[in-house]
Structure 1
């Protein structure tokens, strides 16, 4: 399975803790939204967005309406395997 992060990696890096993927948001991420666009990606491919508490519902709804959202995992519990 291939996993790509949009908005930063799960581990803290040189730029500090991972940030929310919502446009313009610089809050610390608390959630990983795992998704796949079946028109563009193979079935085993997984993309990820990071979300803060404030934007979790909005980003989840955006992906869900399109049928892309596969799962939502707390960042603290996230593993790439």
Structure 2
């Protein structure tokens, strides 16, 4: 079985994911709920800044295969 690499969530990016950005929208989600965006090294900051500017970013952790 061929396993596809897990890639960055940035639009058009095909780089392997290295980071998990855990977030939630407090207007829509319960406080404990976490949604996940995956990021490569290049997009970690820009995706994090986007979420942080909206007060959505909760945590950034290294991505380990099998976490997604």
Using structure 2 for the length normalisation, give the TM-score: 0.88
3-state secondary structure, aligned to 2:64: helix
Q: Does 1:27 align with 2:27?
A: no
Report how many aligned residue pairs link the two structures: 68
In 2, Cα distance between the equivalents of 1:55 and 1:79?
A: 19
- Which runs of 5 or more structure 1 residues have no equivalent in the other structure? 1-13
Superposition map of 1:54-69 within 5 A? 54-69=42-57
Q: Does 1:17 align with 2:10?
A: no
In 2, Cα distance between the equivalents of 1:76 and 1:41?
A: 25
Q: 1:51 to 1:59 in 2, by over 3 A?
A: same
RMSD: 2.3
Displacement of 1:76: 2.5
In 1, Cα distance between the equivalents of 2:26 and 2:66?
A: 23
